[in-house]
Structure 1
């Protein structure tokens, strides 16, 4: 299983994921709760096409139909490895870490434009990916882009969630990333892809680059 569009759209996607971890390991949302979350977000959408802000795996693998993207700056939030995952890039025995948005600072990423006429269909796939559990909270934010300011939907970390890490020391973060792997691959590849994608768009994130170097050194020993 991967995060390809066809996998996200498959009827049994959630069931397959639930079978990959012991019962009770993850706080899976019901389909009804997830749909209610999506509809609440759509009710707060501005007029026109929908913009989706990606700061992690959405940047290199959006898996949705979109009309292009812009480099975007989000103020007031920063990208951080702050979510333990026993699935995807880790296991229950050795959880990995994935990115979330934490309060404070700023973050550059990619804003994807989704045609309003098919926004609900496309965002439903995004919700199946990002909102399978209660790890994130959908939030409308204001982005600064070369084409002007725009409102976009993104996913910030749920600090009340059971898998929220709090502020981990960089060495602890690096060690966890260096050793974890799951059905989607290694956690270190997740970090590497994030760094490479940022660099390919001319986006500098010194914290991420430093962490990538530290993880590489750990895996080389």
Structure 2
């Protein structure tokens, strides 16, 4: 049975009906639906990077933030959430609206992911759309810090997005050196002499 065709986007939803969705950013801590099960997983051949300017969720057109996308190369460690059998199409549409509809900065696809025991499953994955106007590529750290510091959108501060991602990775025993280094750089930029680094809310 084909997946529902959701309107108002330049890309089409994939026809496959995978049982899982791969989370590597905000989907890790805020999937937005009741998942029956979540498991640590890794996506080979792709890596996370702060490479998309956010003009909706974590920034505005006037003061964009910077959010994560998946780019070719390496391995990305994250979490897979099981999609519920009851209301499957409702959750798929929710994910489409969340990841595609507002900005169109991601491409929906299905990729094999590897679990901790070596087993492989097919999962829904959202890749960075490198043809999109908001695609920023890999920016110098100073520019990434600037965008993350200024970004505030409908779902909150860009800094909180970065902090929550790092905390989720650590909770699962993962470490992403580039994200940890970026967070430290942002915190250093916010510290005045004689003060402590601010905590995220």
Tell me which moved more, 206-215 or 140-149: 140-149
Q: Does 1:138 align with 2:108?
A: yes
Task: Give the alignment's TM-score, normalised by structure 1.
Answer: 0.79
Q: How many residues get paired? A: 186
Q: Once the 2 structures are TM-superposed, how far is the Cα of residue 212 of structure 1 from its aligned partner?
A: 0.6
Q: List per-residue Cα deviations over 1:167-214 (Å, max 9, x = no partner).
A: 211221112112222232211111001101111111111111111111
Aligned to 1:209: 180
Q: CA RMSD in A?
A: 1.9
Q: Which has the higher helix share?
A: 1
Looking at structure 1, the residues matched to 190 and 179 of structure 2 have their Cα atoms a distance apart, in angstroms, of 16
CA distance in 2, matches of 1:220, 1:60: 27
The normalised TM-score by structure 2 is 0.86
- Contact conserved, 1:65 with 1:122, CA < 8 A, in 2? no
1:44 aligns with 2:19: no
SS at match of 1:116: coil
The question of 1:104 aligning with 2:73 is answered yes
1:118 Cα deviation after fit: 2.7
After TM superposition, the runs of 4+ consecutive aligned structure 1 residues lying more than 6 A away are none
1:88-127 matches, within 5 Å, as: 88-127=57-96
Following superposition, the deviation at residue 219 of structure 1 comes to 1.4
Gaps of 5+ in 1: 1-30
Structure 2 residue runs without a partner (length 5+): 1-5, 193-201
